[in-house]
């Protein structure tokens, strides 16, 4: 091989080596550019995500809004042929200011008596109860629907589904926790239609009209003549009713 041929081969080898180095540098540069573009994309995506407001299932911007309220209420009804008043209260969870569910408790406030009760005991002796006061209380679930709640005056529906008892207590006793007789467990169902008035953002007046159904009244005794009869008549507790409630809670939104 001549000197010129060796020179040519050296020049070609040097050129090829330099070209390979340039290709490697270009590849490294390209990888750096791709990495930088990827980081920029991830960063911009994160910024966009941070700009978006966090969503909640329950909350101010969620699809379901939860509030609550409590209420004392008075119920006017009949007990047999007598005017009767019951008092109680309840509390409920309010969903989207439209539906609510909670619990209640109610008790008879007026005095209604049963006179001349004579019960024949198992030993044959007759016990005389001159004047006995009737006790009636119940509690359970409270469910309802509110229509057009943003209107100052609007209507709604509700029902109370509960369990309780009726009993008799000596009319001379102030505390009837002990000494009751004729205790009978009952089921109470009280649907009603209501009118509500928005007084403030946190206070409403509720007036309802409905009917109270009481079932399970079947307690019996044996009278002085040996005849079995019931302590109570179902018609004494089944009655139309009018309720007035004062509702305190979050109603403003």
CATH topology assigned to domain 66-249: Porin (2.40.160)
The pTM (predicted TM-score) of the whole model is 0.73
> How far is residue 42's CA from residue 63's CA, in Å, rounded to a whole number?
30
Average pLDDT over residues 126-131: 91
Q: What is the pLDDT of residue 235?
A: 87
Question: Residue 108: pLDDT above 90?
Answer: yes
CA distance 63 to 86: 38
CA distance 75 to 243: 4
The string over 3-32, giving b where at least 16 C-beta atoms fall within 10 Å of a residue's C-beta and e elsewhere, is eeeeeeeeeeeeeeeeeeeeeeeeeeeeee
Which segments within 30-173 are labelled E, that is strand? Answer: 66-79, 82-95, 99-108, 113-120, 126-146, 153-170
SS3 content of the chain, % helix, strand, coil (to 5): 20, 55, 25
Q: Are 58 and 246 contacting, i.e. CB atoms less than 8 angstroms apart?
A: no
The yes-or-no verdict on residue 110 having pLDDT over 70 is yes
Res 216: pLDDT: 94
Q: How many CA atoms lie less than 13 Å away from 213 in the CB half-sphere? A: 8
- 54-74 in b/e form (b: 16+ CB < 10 A) is eeeeeeeeeeebebebebebb
pLDDT surpassing 70 at residue 129: yes
Q: Give 168-179 pLDDT, tens digit per residue.
A: 998 888 777 777
Mean pLDDT of 132-156: 95
Report the pLDDT averaged over residues 74-97: 95
Residues in the chain: 253
Average pLDDT over residues 49-59: 49
């Amino acid at each position: 091989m001549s000197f010129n041929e060796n020179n040519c081969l050296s020049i070609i080898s040097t050129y090829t080596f330099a070209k390979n180095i340039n290709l490697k540098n270009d590849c490294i540069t390209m990888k750096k550019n791709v990495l930088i573009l990827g980081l920029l994309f991830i960063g911009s995506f994160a910024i966009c995500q941070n700009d978006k407001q966090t969503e909640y299932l329950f909350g101010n911007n969620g699809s379901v809004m939860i509030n609550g309220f409590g209420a004392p209420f008075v119920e006017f009804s009949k007990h047999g042929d007598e005017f009767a008043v019951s008092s109680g209260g309840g509390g409920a969870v309010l969903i989207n200011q439209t539906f609510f569910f909670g619990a209640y408790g109610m008790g008879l406030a007026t005095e209604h008596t049963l006179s001349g009760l004579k019960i024949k005991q198992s030993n044959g002796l007759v016990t005389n109860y001159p004047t006995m006061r009737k006790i009636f209380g119940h509690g359970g679930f409270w469910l309802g629907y509110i229509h057009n709640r943003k209107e100052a005056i609007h209507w709604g529906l509700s029902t109370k589904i509960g369990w309780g008892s009726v009993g008799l207590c000596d009319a001379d006793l102030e505390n009837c926790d002990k000494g009751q007789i004729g205790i009978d467990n009952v089921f109470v169902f009280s649907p009603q239609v209501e009118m509500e008035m928005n007084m403030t953002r946190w206070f409403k007046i509720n007036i309802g009209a409905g009917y109270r159904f009481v079932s399970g009244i079947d307690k019996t005794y044996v009278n002085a003549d040996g005849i079995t009869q019931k302590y109570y008549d179902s018609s004494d507790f089944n009655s139309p009713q009018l309720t007035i409630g004062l509702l305190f809670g979050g109603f403003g939104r």
